[in-house]
Amino acid sequence: MPLMLAMSDREALVQVQPAPGGLGTESSAARWGRRGHAAAPIARSRSSTRRRWAFAGALLALAATASTVHVVMLNAEDTAFTHRVNGGCEELDACRQLAAAAERRATDCLVGCGARAAEHRMARFLLYRSEERLAVRAHYRQREETERLEQQTQRAEQLDLWQRERAARVDTAEREHRRRIELEQLKQDRLDRRLVEERQRRVEYLALLGADGRAKRLRRCAAAPTGCGLVISELLDAASTDAEKRSLAELHEQLLTGEAPAPASREVATTGPLQRS
C-alpha cells in the first residue's frame, strides 16, 4: 500500500511550463508546490476506489468458489441419490423413505427439475412395486393359511371318518362274535337238552327193568370193554330205593375188582333169553 501511494504521488507531480518573463526558479517552485497539494486528494480517491474494487473482486471470487463448492456438493448428492434410485429397494420401509426423499428433492427444486421429477416418479414406482409385492406375499400367506386350514380340516374329517368306520367295523365284529357265541350256545343248549332227554329216556327205561334187570345191565356193561362209566350213574338214578343204590354201587366195585359173586340160577334162567338176544 505505501508503494501505491508513492507511485500516485510521483504521478501527481507534473511539470509546469514557466510563464514568459517570469521570475525563474522561484516561480517554478511555487507552481510545483501548488500542483502537488491539489493532486493529493485525487490520488487518495483513486487508491480508495482501487481498494474497494479489490475487496469486491475478493468477495466475488469467494462467492464464486462457494457457489462452485455448493454446485459440486449438489452434483455429488444428485449423483449419489441417482445411484440410490437406480439401485432400487425391496423392503417397504426403505421404499417409503426413498419416495419421501425424492418428493422433498422435487419440491425443493426450482430450476432444471426434470431429473428430480423423474427420480420422484421412479421412487414412487418402486414404492408401488414394493407395496404390490407385499400385497402379493400377504395374499400368498393368506392362501397358504387357508390351504393349511383346509388340509387340517380334511385331515380331521378323514380321521373322524376313519374312527367312525373303525368303530362301525369293531361294532360289526362284536355283533358277529356275539351272534356266533349265541348260535354256539343255542347249539350247545340243544345238544345238552338232547343228551338230557336221551339220558332221561335211558333212566326211565332202566327204571322199568326192576332191580334184577338193573343188576343184570350192570354185569353186562362191566363185561364190555368200555366199562360202565355212564351206565352206573343212570342205574343209580333209576334205582327205586337207597338200598338198591347201595347194592348196585357195591356190585360195581366188586365187578371192577373181579370179586363179584356168580349170579344165581334164577338170575341165569331169567337173563338167558336176554343174553341170546
Higher pLDDT, 154 or 11: 154
pLDDT of res. 16: 45
Domain annotation covers residue 136 = no
Map 131-177 to HEC letters. HHHHHHHHHHHHHHHHHHHHHHHHHHHHHHHHHHHHHHHHHHHHHHH
Distance between CA 20 and CA 10 in Å, rounded?
26
Distance between CA 12 and CA 6 in Å, rounded?
10
Distance between CA 105 and CA 81 in Å, rounded?
10
Domain annotation covers residue 68 = yes
Confidence of residue 34 (pLDDT cuts 50, 70, 90): low
Q: Is 24 helix (H, G, I), strand (E, B) or coil?
A: coil
pLDDT in tens, 62-110: 877 776 765 666 567 678 888 888 888 888 899 999 899 989 988 888 8
Domain annotation covers residue 117 = no
| Buried b or exposed e, range 206-245, using 16+ CB within 10 angstroms | bbeeeeebbbbbbbebbeeeeebeebbebbbebbeeeebb
- pTM flag (> 0.75): no
pLDDT of res. 67: 67
Percent of the chain topping pLDDT 90: 27
Domain annotation covers residue 221 = yes
Confidence of residue 113 (pLDDT cuts 50, 70, 90): confident
pLDDT above 50 (res 13): no
Q: Residue 21 — left, alpha, or beta (φ > 0 → left; ψ -120 to 50 → alpha)?
A: left
Distance between CA 271 and CA 264 in Å, rounded?
11
Domain annotation covers residue 235 = yes
Most confident of 21-35, 189-203, 213-227: 189-203
pLDDT in tens, 125-150: 999 998 998 899 999 999 999 999 99
pLDDT of res. 151: 93
Domain annotation covers residue 7 = yes
Distance between CA 169 and CA 167 in Å, rounded?
5
pLDDT of res. 272: 39
Confidence of residue 177 (pLDDT cuts 50, 70, 90): very high
Domain annotation covers residue 241 = yes
Last residue of a domain, one of 87, 121, 141: 87
Higher pLDDT, 122 or 263: 122
Domain annotation covers residue 159 = no
Cell numbers 474497494 correspond to 52
Distance between CA 106 and CA 86 in Å, rounded?
17
Domain hosting residue 239, numbered range: 209-276
The count of structural domains within the chain is: 2
Last residue of a domain, one of 35, 52, 87: 87
Last residue of a domain, one of 87, 111, 141: 87
Nearest residue to 261 via CA among 229, 217, 219, 225: 219
